Amino acid sequence: MNILITGAAGFLGSHLCDKLTALGHQVIGMDNFITGNPENLAHLAGNPNFSFIHHDVSNFIFVPGKVDFILHFASPASPNPASPLGYPNLPIQTMKAGALGTHNTLGVAIAQSARFLLASTSEIYGDPLEHPQKETYWGHVDPIGSRSVYDEAKRFAEALTMAYHRFHGVNTRIIRIFNTYGPRMRLDDGRVVPNFIQQALRGEPLTIYGDGLQTRSFCFVSDLIEGITRLMMSEEHMPVNIGNPAETSILEFAQTINRLTGNKAGIVIKADKRLGDDPQRRQPDITRARQILGWEPTISLEEGLSLTIPYFKQKMGMA
């Protein structure tokens, strides 16, 4: 197939480019590099299965030639206001990528009679009152809170995708992605995995904001990419959670990072500085992914971190 991937230079987008070119598809990557990193695609230069368009999806999209499938992954994704790449510092760009970007990519899908996959997020559940979160849960979201620019952009993108499916008959899919980690995460991303690993490698105490009892479920990137690929090839139109249901507290996660890196500096807990709207619990119910896609994660947290830490060492000049 000829496949358009928006956000191709991002963490997930670049891994998708690798996977789909390796399967023999012709991949067209698209990115404006606001948060995407050109280095993530450098190894694909000269690959006959890959081409690239430097473009902002918030503007009208023209792709020469035939497009069979569109994967819309363009968006800032970090909730950390301390990071210049966090969506609290890119609020308008984030909402435009979710709203105008989804509208424009769906327009390409109509024009090309292409299939379409929207990268949505567990953030549409907000600070959930249901645990674990099923796809049928409508969420507990503050529409004007610090995370709202991302949460509401993705909720709108899901609604728009389903409107195009129901009204125009576009062959759509929606994936709700839970916390994912692995090589190619940006060092200045601001999320917990790069923050903790870098602090640990520098021999610093790991900083936890809040009491550390808030939970996350971490999925290694190769597992996630396999789930996306299976959803692509399915005929499922309703949202599907893809993530690792193994729940861990942030405190336990920090202890694991320190143990794997040999960091003796310990942990600093700043209980009075919980990030605004930071969800207390986050765990996917992946029953539908198991039933519809025959998918579940295979890589444990320790195995995945052991594959991720060397990447950060190399990027920090410590390898």
What are the tokens at 301?
């947290």
Domain 2-180+220-243+284-297 has CATH 3.30.9.10: no
Marked catalytic residue, from 87, 125, 137, 150 = 150
Calpha distance 144→156 (Å, rounded): 14
Task: Measure Cα distances from 170 to 20, 73, 96, 237 in Å.
Answer: 22, 18, 21, 10
Q: Delimit the domains of the chain by residue range.
A: 2-180+220-243+284-297
> Do residues 36 and 9 lie in contact, with contact meaning Cβ atoms separated by under 8 Å?
yes
Residues 6 or more apart in contact with residue 45 via CB below 8 angstroms = none
Calpha distance 3→26 (Å, rounded): 6
Annotated catalytic, 209?
A: no
Place of tokens 């023209």: 62
Residues 6 or more apart in contact with residue 18 via CB below 8 angstroms = 44
Give the count of beta carbons closer than 10 Å to the beta carbon of residue 59. Answer: 12
* DSSP reduced 3-state for 72: strand
The torsion angles phi and psi of 240, rounded to 5 degrees, stand at: -130, 125
Calpha distance 29→52 (Å, rounded): 5
| Per-residue pLDDT in tens (0 to 9) along the chain, 319 residues | 999 999 999 999 999 999 999 999 999 999 999 999 999 999 999 999 999 999 999 999 999 999 999 999 999 988 877 788 888 899 999 999 999 999 999 999 999 999 999 999 999 999 999 999 999 999 999 999 888 999 999 999 999 999 999 999 999 999 999 999 999 999 988 889 999 999 999 999 999 988 888 888 999 999 999 999 999 999 999 999 999 999 999 999 999 999 999 999 999 998 776 565 677 888 999 999 999 999 999 999 999 999 999 999 999 998 7
Which sign, positive or negative, has the C-alpha torsion 97, 36, 88, 185?
A: positive
Tell me which H or E stretch contains 173: strand 172-177
